Amino acid sequence: MRVAVVGAGVIGVTSAFAVKSAFPSYDVKIFADAFSPDTTGDGSAGLWSPYLLGDTPVDNITDKDNVHPEWEKLVYGFHKGYHFVTYTAEPTLLLPWLMKKFVTLGGKMERRNVKRLHELAEEGYDLIINCSGLGARELIADKTMTPIRGQIYKVKAPWTMQCFLVDDDDDCNYIIPNMHSVVLGGTHQEGDFDRSVREEDSEHIYKGCCRLMPSLQASQIIRAWVGLRPGRPRVRLECEALNTPMGREFKVIHNYGHGGSGVTLCWGCALDVVEMTRNLKVPKLNSKL
């Protein structure tokens, strides 16, 4: 079977690697107009924790742990916080590692701007795995996709050993240590396509993070960065049967719309893609947008 994966972000590369690992005889190729270090994921801190997933059912994301006491709404001025152990998987390190593993298995990559999925079907691909992220707005006309603008600072602050996250209804501040830098955030501005660094956001990030950790005033700023997260009311992870303009049927597995949780969900979604690939001979395919 010939398999085309559209998109080389953390979702696309992980899906390609998982499929090639599970089905070594399959011809698997990634098509993308941008590869690491130029993907949206490369700017993220890679914190393994669900974030900005729209209306995706919480039962599909995490196990319930009764963290909200029944009486919290009865107590005036009630405040809550969480303490948990997790890790970071920095895309600037994760993506090159995954791509190297993928190529070692015999996977292929091509830099190309795919305009329509049927282009690849007409070239003989039997299965297309759509991991186009925000690009799904144009690629398959999914207008439920919306950018969630995120601006961050990367700084040198090697004394920072713990993550801090403060969330509210508008924006948030977070401090996430990586191997060679610390990521300070951030913004989540829905419907905003602006990729330029804004001074007002820089001020919000720096001052807010310094309030959380005053020692950051001694940090050295490496750079500011802006990326557009692929927002959607719900993650789309499903199979669909389509036809080319010439009438040739081909199969598509959609795997996009992960908001700010691409790193967190990439491997679980990739395993679901493998299962869907394994079951493609089932006559009835589920399809909904």
CB atoms under 10 Å from CB of 244, counted, come to 15
| Alpha helices, DSSP H, located in the chain | 10-22, 91-104, 117-122, 136-139, 199-212, 262-278
Question: In order of start, what are the domains of the chain with their CATH numbers?
Answer: 1-63+87-145+233-288 (3.40.50.720), 146-231 (3.30.9.10)
**Tens digits of per-residue pLDDT, 151-189?**
999 999 999 999 998 865 556 899 999 999 999 998 999
User: Taking residues 10-33, what's their average pLDDT?
Assistant: 98
Q: What is the mean pLDDT of the chain?
A: 89
Q: Which residues are annotated as a binding site for D-dopa?
A: 174, 229, 260
List the binding residues for FAD.
45-47, 114, 259-264
Per-residue pLDDT, 287: 41
**Res. 286 pLDDT band, cuts 50 70 90:** very low
Write the DSSP assignment of 38-96 as a string of letters. Answer: SSGGGGS--BSS----TT--GGGT------S-TTGGGSTT----------B--HHHHHH
Q: Is the pLDDT of residue 273 over 80?
A: yes
Summarised one tens digit per residue, pLDDT across range 187-219 is 999 999 999 999 999 999 999 999 999 999 999
Amino acid at 50: P
